[in-house]
A and B are shown apart, each in its own frame.
Chain A
Amino acid sequence: MSTTTFAQALNRALRDSLTDDPDVVVLGEDVGTLGGVFRITDGLTRDFGEERCFDTPLAEAGIAGFAVGMAMQGFRPVIEMQFDAFGFPAFEQVVSHIAKMRNRTRGRLTLPLVIRVPYAGGIGGVEHHCDSSEGYYAHTPGLHVVTPGTPADAYSLLREAIASPDPVVFMEPKVLYWSKAELDLPATTAPIGTAEVRREGSDVTLLTYGPQLPTALKAAEVAAAEEDWDVEVVDLRSIVPFDDETVMASVRKTGRCVVLAEAQGFAGVAGEVAARVSERCFHSLAAPVLRVSGLDIPYPPPKLEHSHLPGVDRVLDTIGRLQWDDEPDLTYAGGPGDRAEAR
């Protein structure tokens, strides 16, 4: 066992994929000589040559569209969007072509490519560097949307994404790049489309993914120590496909559920997950499914991001509102604008 960071695990996954399959190519802005702004592609050009890992002009739609063309010629491009919000110029290529090509052509033309998106905040980044963009992709049929939360998953899921016959949007939580694990690589974890129970518990299911996994685990620890709540933490890992089975089994067992996601909550992934749980587990639920998400605001400036990011306290507070005492939830009743007060 050796100590491996999330970033190193990703780098190793790219290396092993480049070694195993001569059709794999890595391209994007600064992925060559520099090794990526987060060093995820560190040394790939040096070790595999310009043909296998190369810099492109600074144009994200161009990168995505160019990868489509290369995939048409049998390559397996892995493209980097550098930062979440920098991926938006490529949106048309992703939505209108990458996601749809297989369907448009009745499966005759497939695009086995991976779009790596360093995403979400918690790193003190300035605007346009911290967006949670997974919801846009998850709302687009034809894409797989995967987001690892551990170094082992970072390695295994990326290997699987590159080998997949379908396009995969691979969402890398920037805040986890420097997280570590004792790990021997190569490692194989559960496949894309499966959620994992990261901590077993009996009182409440905390569903989360990506950048908020450490928050969830920490909240579970504190809940056990201070509140005597036994929290089960489920890491979704894959937003599309979604593992209803693991999620629902956990909620049916615990009878309570909180969905934790860093993205702004309105019309997002957390809302979809909460709806699915409510539709499928209604008779097992002792309380409504609650969400803890980012605020419905543009990502805040660094000095204010602590108010935006769901922290342990907000998670515990929400768990506390799961009608443990069968009383209605009036925590925030009577505030300014409350209807009762207005009357």
Chain B
Amino acid sequence: MTDVQHLLPCPEPVRFMDEAGTLVPGGPGELATERGYALPSDDDLLAVWRAMVLGRRFDSQATALTKQGRLAVYPSSRGQDACQVAPVLTLAEQDWFFPTYRDSMALVARGIDPVEVLTLLRGDWHCGYDPVATRTAPQCTPLATQSVHAAGAAYGMKRRGNGGVALCYIGDGATSEGDFHEALNFAAVFEAPAVFLVQNNGYAISVPLSKQSKAPALSYKGVGYGIRSEQVDGNDPAAVLAVTRAAMEHARAGDGPFLIEAHTYRLEAHTNADDATRYRTKEEVAQWQGRDPIVRLQRYLLDRGALDQARVDEVTAEGEALAADLRARMNLEPEVRPSELFEHVYSTPTPQLREQAHMVAAEEAQVMHG
């Protein structure tokens, strides 16, 4: 008989603490414990808490900037804060990160300059940060396409023998795309050190998961490819950190790829241009507001005495400073050069592009002098 038990996720999402920040009696369960998901230390959780507080302040500032017309559009990840920051904090120096368009908070947690994170959405260029220097792929808009890149990059790192792991984010809707399946299959066949994290926030814009998939849970999709899989309470920062850490270690040890499904919820609409009241109820949103990952972890840490009000105030102030700096810099009109449109298409522009560059330059000159 084929043994698939070790590939299957725990029957219930792995969870350490409840909505009130109280440890669940009996821990995350026997199977989860057997799999090595250990409650993270206070220090690790403090780091996650701080990154979430800063990330959420960044997120709310970005939403405000969009309302002021400074950003073309902004897809908020408010509510998904634990998924946004905890996995990113497990990345080692040589690891690569493959984010989607919703993962701006994750990029800030990755240490990328918030203004560079928002370049895409401000609209002065596509990707504002240096993907090579930050080992972070450009935020990906075409759904699931980045997951195949992550598989290839993971295999590339394996070939280089540098111990690197590729961490790939993906949404619940994107698991319906063919590229997601091809990525899991390639990663498995080539035993690539890749960790795929599905942030299942329940909706692909307006389409609920029930219309997306009949899988018992999205994490069950891993077994068909021979991939170790797990599901986790995505609003429990401790569980997200513990499971991601185990997954990263699994991949880094050469045991192949790992699929995580994090059950979470986006509290805001798909983007500022979306009206979420058309497809979900106030009651549902309120229910998830009660599961806020930041409130949850903060209570846990305060209750344990690992955190005090002074530190809360300190990090809140840090968030305000981040937001003020972001406002100040985003309120400056970015400089754009039409000539740059031609500079990066090829390493050497084609004669045809040179011609068009001359045309645009002449038009610009006319505007300036005419």
Q: Let me know if B131 is at the binding interface, CB within 8 A.
A: yes
CA distance A66 to B183 in the complex (A): 8
With contacts A65-B145, A65-B151, A141-B345 taken as known, whether A105 is within 8 angstroms of B126 at the C-beta atoms is yes
User: How near does chain A come to B161, taking the closest CB pair, in angstroms?
Assistant: 11
CA distance A237 to B316 in the complex (A): 62
Interface centre among B126, B131, B152, B347 (most CB of A within 10 A): B152
User: How near does chain B come to A226, taking the closest CB pair, in angstroms?
Assistant: 37
Chain A residues at the B interface, C-beta cutoff of 8 Å: 51, 56-57, 59, 61-62, 64-75, 89, 92-93, 96-97, 100-110, 141-142, 144, 164-166, 193, 240-245
Which residue of A66, A96, A101, A107 contacts B347 across the interface (Cβ within 8 Å)? A107
With contacts A104-B138, A107-B344, A109-B131 taken as known, whether A73 is within 8 angstroms of B186 at the C-beta atoms is no
With contacts A93-B145, A240-B350 taken as known, whether A109 is within 8 angstroms of B132 at the C-beta atoms is yes
Which residue of A62, A74, A108, A243 contacts B186 across the interface (Cβ within 8 Å)? A62
Query: Which partner residue on chain A sits nearest B156 by CB separation?
Result: A73
Closest 7 CB pairs of A and B: A69-B152, A65-B148, A73-B156, A62-B182, A69-B153, A241-B350, A66-B152
Q: What are 21 residue pairs bridging A and B, where the CB atoms are less than 8 Å apart in the complex?
A: A51-B159, A57-B182, A57-B185, A62-B183, A65-B149, A66-B149, A69-B148, A70-B152, A72-B137, A73-B157, A89-B178, A97-B149, A102-B346, A103-B126, A106-B343, A108-B131, A109-B138, A165-B347, A241-B350, A242-B352, A245-B351
User: How near does chain B come to A93, taking the closest CB pair, in angstroms?
Assistant: 6
What B residues does A106 contact at CB under 8 A?
125, 127, 340, 343-344
With contacts A92-B145, A108-B130 taken as known, whether A70 is within 8 angstroms of B153 at the C-beta atoms is yes
Query: Which partner residue on chain B sits nearest A109 by CB separation?
Result: B131
Q: Let me know if B155 is at the binding interface, CB within 8 A.
A: yes
With contacts A66-B155, A72-B156, A109-B131 taken as known, whether A193 is within 8 angstroms of B125 at the C-beta atoms is no
With contacts A59-B185, A65-B183 taken as known, whether A103 is within 8 angstroms of B152 at the C-beta atoms is no
Which residue of B156, B183, B345 contacts A75 across the interface (Cβ within 8 Å)? B156
Tell me if B156 and A70 are in contact (CB < 8 A). Answer: yes
Interface centre among B154, B178, B344 (most CB of A within 10 A): B344
CA distance A244 to B353 in the complex (A): 12
Tell me if B148 and A61 are in contact (CB < 8 A). Answer: yes
Number of interface residues of B (CB under 8 A): 42
User: How near does chain B come to A128, taking the closest CB pair, in angstroms?
Assistant: 18
Given contacts A62-B179, A69-B148, A71-B152, 13 further A-B contacts (CB under 8 A): A51-B159, A57-B189, A72-B152, A73-B157, A75-B156, A93-B145, A102-B347, A107-B343, A109-B131, A142-B345, A165-B347, A242-B352, A244-B352
Q: Let me know if B238 is at the binding interface, CB within 8 A.
A: no
CA distance A114 to B270 in the complex (A): 37
Tell me if A67 and B152 are in contact (CB < 8 A). Answer: yes
Tell me if B142 and A92 are in contact (CB < 8 A). Answer: yes
Q: Let me know if B160 is at the binding interface, CB within 8 A.
A: yes
CA distance A244 to B356 in the complex (A): 14
Query: Which partner residue on chain A sits nearest B133 by CB separation?
Result: A108
Interface centre among A68, A71, A109, A110 (most CB of B within 10 A): A68
Q: Let me know if B150 is at the binding interface, CB within 8 A.
A: yes
Query: Which partner residue on chain B sits nearest A240 by CB separation?
Result: B350
Tell me if B151 and A102 are in contact (CB < 8 A). Answer: no
Contact bitstring B334-349, A, C-beta under 8 A = 1, else 0: 0000001001111100
User: How near does chain B come to A133, taking the closest CB pair, in angstroms?
Assistant: 20
User: How near does chain B come to A113, taking the closest CB pair, in angstroms?
Assistant: 10
CA distance A65 to B154 in the complex (A): 12
Q: Let me know if B58 is at the binding interface, CB within 8 A.
A: no
Which residue of A68, A101, A165 contacts B152 across the interface (Cβ within 8 Å)? A68
Contact bitstring B286-330, A, C-beta under 8 A = 1, else 0: 000000000000000000000000000000000000000000000
CA distance A242 to B355 in the complex (A): 12
What A residues does B340 contact at CB under 8 A?
106
CA distance A115 to B186 in the complex (A): 18
Q: Let me know if B166 is at the binding interface, CB within 8 A.
A: yes
User: How near does chain B come to A325, taking the closest CB pair, in angstroms?
Assistant: 36
Tell me if B345 and A104 are in contact (CB < 8 A). Answer: no
What B residues does A142 contact at CB under 8 A?
345-346
Q: Let me know if B96 is at the binding interface, CB within 8 A.
A: yes
Tell me if B148 and A66 are in contact (CB < 8 A). Answer: yes
With contacts A62-B185, A65-B152 taken as known, whether A242 is within 8 angstroms of B350 at the C-beta atoms is yes
What B residues does A166 contact at CB under 8 A?
346-347
User: How near does chain A come to B354, taking the closest CB pair, in angstroms?
Assistant: 10
CA distance A70 to B155 in the complex (A): 7
Which residue of B96, B147, B351 contacts A242 across the interface (Cβ within 8 Å)? B351
With contacts A69-B155, A107-B343, A240-B350 taken as known, whether A57 is within 8 angstroms of B186 at the C-beta atoms is yes
Tell me if B156 and A69 are in contact (CB < 8 A). Answer: yes
What B residues does A108 contact at CB under 8 A?
130-133
User: How near does chain A come to B342, taking the closest CB pair, in angstroms?
Assistant: 10
User: How near does chain A come to B186, taking the closest CB pair, in angstroms?
Assistant: 5
CA distance A75 to B159 in the complex (A): 10
Contact bitstring B103-144, A, C-beta under 8 A = 1, else 0: 000000000000000000000011100111100011000100
What B residues does A93 contact at CB under 8 A?
145, 148, 179
What B residues does A243 contact at CB under 8 A?
351
Query: Which partner residue on chain A sits nearest B158 by CB separation?
Result: A73
User: How near does chain B come to A69, taking the closest CB pair, in angstroms?
Assistant: 2
Tell me if B346 and A144 are in contact (CB < 8 A). Answer: yes
User: How near does chain A come to B112, taking the closest CB pair, in angstroms?
Assistant: 13
Query: Which partner residue on chain B sits nearest A101 by CB separation?
Result: B138
